[in-house]
A and B are shown apart, each in its own frame.
Chain A
Amino acid sequence: MFETFFLWFFGLLAMLFAIGLIMQKHPMRAALSLIGVMISLAAIYGILQVHVVAVFQVLVYVGAVMVFMIYVIMMLDDKDMAFIQKYSKLLVPGVVVFFVFLVAMIGALSRASVIFKPLESNSKIFTFEVFSEKFITHYLFHFELASLLLLVGVIAAVTVIKGGRHG
């Protein structure tokens, strides 16, 4: 009962923050809205008993990615045209695409009734032990691929900054 209430509460909160993200004029407020979305989703993961993902959602997204983002927003000046005018020329096509996508997804999901099994969360299968065991046995290749992606990301970031300095 309480579980359902909090699930819906945080779900609606996430949706409100998401709408705030695309409506806010200043990037700092948009970033705070995005942090709200991420924390609400972390709460939902906690309610679903997937605590490992909830912890990493807060640590990686809010702790690292969004701090980086806010750091950049503070470096930029707010007299820019992009800060004064909110929407681009694609406002009407964008809204059309939004509704077409929603209708298509609702149509696809309403026909796939087989996938909707009841939600029974089992905290036993989502522990750190199970995650780490899966990562070093079954998903070792994906794990290594992800670390390779991080390495390439670091090299790309350094290259972009160096190229900008000399070019």
Chain B
Amino acid sequence: MSERVLVIIPAYNEAETIQEVVESIYALEGEYDVLVVNDGSSDETGTVVKGLDRAHLIELPYNLGIGSTMQTGFKYALRSGYGFAVQCDGDGQHPVDAIPALVERVQKGDADLVIGSRYVADTSYQPSFSRRVGKSLLSRLVDALIGGGITDTTSGFRCMNRKVLAVFAERYPEDYPEPESLVLLHRWGLRVVEIPVEMRPRQGGRSSISPRHAAYYMVKVALAIFVDMFRKFTQTTGDHS
């Protein structure tokens, strides 16, 4: 199996920060390919990435939303034969220097997906109140469903192997995908672990979640997870390129 690692960055109007994020990934020790999936940005995100030397760029013709954007990246990673994929935001919040630790944990082979978690001891991350309430309720629900051990179910800073890529390429929730995706993996019998990472405040742009959205987010994800419990999953090969 290929040991190549692809870092997938979903980008929606991240022109201010994307270059720094991509370059800091290339500055890491070890070989990482970078794919930016531009989700129909209205700013210069696409142009900025085109100007970067080695970065792969996939441009969605219009704004599809975070879930479908990530799934495009998963499909690309799977079809291009990458052994591992890392999911990392383009706004500079995710600590790029923690990527090797995430990858190493998956490569060890006792986990299929590793979450870079904000809540595991020793991180000073302080999210807003509404976000904290919504996320903790949701996290508890998801954590209970998948048998415990995960505190940060909404983190979008994760590393996964090809088994996970195959599942996600086939089925990935459309918006606020992370918690539901963990339940999906659990249903497939794949193993999820988390390790602590230190999150940084975003370097630019704006958060996609407002307090009003937080309520919708809770209900929508809870419903999706509830329905998933009654859904039959059929085995697919995943690789169909």
* Chain A partners chain B: no
